[in-house]
Structure formats: structure tokens, C-alpha cells
Amino acid sequence: MSEFFAMGGYGAFLWPAYAITLLAVVVNVIAARRAHAAAREEARRRLETDVDPEREVERER
């Protein structure tokens, strides 16, 4: 098992590279989910405040 982690002597370079890559992927997923949630909330807010003149006429009747 220690041979696997040593990776032929390159483990000291490979494992940090794997960790940095994993961290970058996790950060990108979190950022994308937050941006998506913010965009959905902004769209929902705009739809709620959007006033359609034809609908306003129907509401007054």
C-alpha cells in the first residue's frame, strides 16, 4: 500500500496536485450552485415585479 501512495517516488508531487485539482472542482461546483440560485432568485424577483399592462386591465375589471 505504501508503494501506491509513493507512486514510484512521485507521490510528493502527485498527491498535492490531486488535492489542488479536487479543491478547484469543489469550489467551482459550489460557485456554480450559488450563481444558479442567485440567478433563479433574480428571475423570480423580476417576474414578481414585472407589470404587464394587459393583465393590469383585466385585474381592474
Residue 32 in 3-state DSSP? Answer: helix
* pLDDT given at position 49: 87
Question: Which residues, including other chains, have CB under 8 Å from residue 5's CB and lie 6 or more apart?
Answer: 11, 15
Specify the pTM: 0.68
> Rounded to whole angstroms, what are the CA distances from 22 to 3, 16, 18, 27, 44?
22, 10, 6, 9, 33
Mean pLDDT per 10-residue interval, the chain, length 61 residues? 92 96 98 98 91 61 56
CA 34 to chain centre: 5
Domain boundaries, the chain: 2-60
